[in-house]
Structure 1
Amino acid sequence: MLKDYKNHKDDIMKVLERDAQLEKIEVATELNNDLKRQSAVRRAINALKEYEQSLDIKLSEREEAIVSQYTVSENLIHLLPKYLTVTEVGKLLSISPQMVRRKCMANEIEAHRTLNGKGKWRIPSSQFVSHPDLEELLLELQEQRRSSERLASVLLQDVDEVKE
């Protein structure tokens, strides 16, 4: 098993070693070391995405779910709330909130409503763990949370100043 993994790791290293753009980044004089590192990481990500597409492996939903268990960043998985909103699921699936509600009513998306079926939709996030855009959504939610925290901090400072 480890031998198989080493072969895959070697394939990945070959892809990166063959990427001429990475060599250009290394010798670029207008980039300082931090910019070179950032540029190289982005280029490596792009090169690996291209390699992944060239593999042309079609995964079933079940296989995609299995692969996603190993690929979603562990630092982000703790950010996954128990439930997602209709708007968040819409962003994730690239459909309108109204379409999300329709899919919930049709049981295409696992969900239930609060207030004896008359309130907001509660959509368990666990069903989207294998979605390829989940990490992007989690990063967006994290940024929204940070922005709200900064705003609350500024407002609290203003309230403290008024008290004084």
Structure 2
Amino acid sequence: MNGYNIRLGTTKDEQFLWEMLYQAIYIPEGQPRPTRDILNEPHIEKSLIDWGRNGDTAIIAEDHDHQPIGAVWVRLFDESNKTYGFVDSQTPLLGMALMPEYRGKGIGTVLLGEILRTTKEFGYKGISLSVDPTNPALQLYKRFGFKKIGVDGTSWDMLVTF
């Protein structure tokens, strides 16, 4: 599969998911990346804190040496802990990132397809996400049927239904 494998994530992948959450923070070209302290901000850390609760699902891409290179994950939220992209307590919220050197190679397309298939199999009716409208990933989400349902700050909330 083009020099990488896809597998279901486990709680052992939590450290890598934190790295992916950092990589998922979109920074426009020419702008400096924030420090990793940004992961401690309440609206960001709730994306992964206490990973492994009911509904948490991740799919990991690994290179041929079994080193993780990308991930996509979904997590349920409710009114008490909602974050960017929240729709309702029955709609998982998506996070996704690849290590920079693996972007633009089709791996994200495979990961997104797998999480959509898996989430649908689990009986969910859709997935939501939050994306900066200048992020190139927006085109990928649109290809998979995500539609803009609102604006939160400078980001778009998007939803795909099954």
Shorter chain as denominator, the TM-score bin is: under 0.3
TM-score in terms of structure 1 length: 0.24
- Structure with bigger strand share is 2
- Structure with bigger helix share is 1
TM-score in terms of structure 2 length: 0.24
Q: Larger relative contact order (C-alpha < 8 A, sep ≥ 6)?
A: 2
- Which of 1 and 2 has greater Rg? 1
